[in-house]
A = this chain, B = another copy of it.
Amino acid sequence: MAFHSHLRRAWLTSNSMLCVGLDPDPARFPEVVHGSVFDFCRAIVDSTAHTVCAYKPQIAFFSAIAAERDLERICTYIREQYPDVLLLLDAKRGDIGSTAEQYAREAFDRYGAQAVTVNPYLGTDSIEPFLRHRDGGVFVLCRTSNPGSGDFQSLDVDGEPLYLHVARRVATEWNEIGDCGLVVGATYPDELRQVRAIVGDLPVLVPGIGAQGGDIDATVAAGHDSTGYGMVISSSRAVLYASQGADFAEAAAAEAEATRDAIRGQTVR
């Protein structure tokens, strides 16, 4: 199933726009998982699957500790056990076409992701190999959640910030090649509203709630689409490390449920 169809089904079956980000940091694992990256991630997934439309493994946290095999296993586990949930690999890839083909193989063939985050700086031919992949889609970085995101993204180009040029090109050109979404941080709800105004019902990945401090109410009000869905709102550390005791999975579930409900409470459908 193609990315957009898969995501819409995920929203409807879960009645949730929450995404749990998988950023495994063994230094913060509870003792009961004995340092196992896969066991930790599996416990989080099993305890939160009823609350989410998507999981978002962040590949850097696996690569830093040579845990690619754990990433393969958790991706397979999610696809097999929770096929309605979207599997989104957060990798922020961006390279020339022949190299982008290799990154697309990594994301879609090796890890079986259904969407991957990509960086727009290298332009159209750096994104095409992802879009031409059967069923795979991309979330293109637009206005990111971090403090330095304005350094270049907000530079004025013809009277508009650069990130709106990115948003428009993705919505009007790249989305014609294959299924696209955008990344807009929850820390910038005004910018999220501007982006939504020009991209129609394009899906938007919204990181930055929870540990990064983004406001849920403002985010949902600014970013929903015409159906009341439209967003993949991601929380990582606040869910993963809600407790570092033996009750970590239950604490993660409680935090995820509360976040899902806070999102739902602001959604008008």
Contact = CB atoms under 8 A, between A and B. Distances in A.
Interface of A: 23, 58, 60-61, 63-66, 68, 72, 92-97, 99-100, 102-103, 105-106, 109-110, 119-126, 141, 144-153, 155-158, 162, 165-166, 169, 212
Contact of A99 (B61, B94, B169): B61
Contacts of A144: 96, 121-123
A125 B148 contact: yes
A155 B147 contact: no
Contacts of A165: 152, 155
A61 B102 contact: yes
8 contacts: A58-B99, A58-B102, A65-B105, A94-B119, A96-B145, A121-B144, A122-B149, A123-B149
Contacts of A60: 93, 95, 99-100, 102-103, 106
Nearest to A165: B155
A253 to B, nearest CB: 23
Contact of A63 (B97, B102, B122, B145): B102
Given A64-B105, A102-B63, A120 B121 contact: yes
Given A63-B102, A64-B105, A94-B94, 19 more contacts: A60-B106, A63-B68, A63-B106, A64-B102, A66-B72, A68-B68, A92-B93, A94-B121, A96-B145, A96-B212, A121-B153, A123-B144, A125-B147, A125-B148, A126-B146, A155-B157, A155-B162, A155-B165, A156-B157
A66 B105 CA distance: 10
A156 B158 contact: yes
Contacts of A99: 23, 58, 60-61
Contacts of A97: 146
B123 A148 contact: yes
Contacts of A152: 120-121, 123, 162, 165-166
